[in-house]
Amino acid sequence: MKKTTQIFKALSDDTRLRILGLLVQGELCVCDLVAVLDLPQSTVSRHLAYLRNSGLVDGRRQGVWMHYRLAQQDGALHDDLIDLLSKDLARLEEIKSDQRKLRQYLSKKRTVKCC
């Protein structure tokens, strides 16, 4: 039960939903998220830690950079929720806006000194 409420707590915060709304598009590194969300790095890292502790995302280090992506295969409820988020988050205006910003950002990424 604690695991279940923990997952829902992880989804109860605007910033974390925004992060997930970007990660449903694919793996990203912290510097990408900071740039697109336009939030302090400590804020982004703190929320990523929360999502990881809740089992919703996995992190992988590549050199200095940490890449995060949605976690897979972690129980029925978890998988059902990931499916649900992939489908329903993109209906929210704020998420759509972030996703647009992400596309712009990725298209000019070579000009950015990040991963």
| Pick from 5, 92, 112: nearest CA to 55 | 5
Match 């990203």 to its residue by tokens.
28
Answer for the pair 81, 7: CB distance below 8 angstroms, yes or no. yes
Q: Give the binding range for DNA (CB under 7 A) out of 5-13, 70-78, 85-93, 99-107.
A: 5-13
CB atoms within 10 A of CB 27: 14
Q: Give the binding range for a second copy (CB under 8 A) out of 31-39, 60-68, 91-99, 106-114.
A: 91-99
The residue (of 77 and 114) whose beta carbon lies closer to a second copy is: 77
Site for a second copy in 13-52 (CB under 8 A): 13-14, 17
The entry of DNA, a second copy, none that residue 107 binds, CB within 5 to 8 Å by partner kind:
none
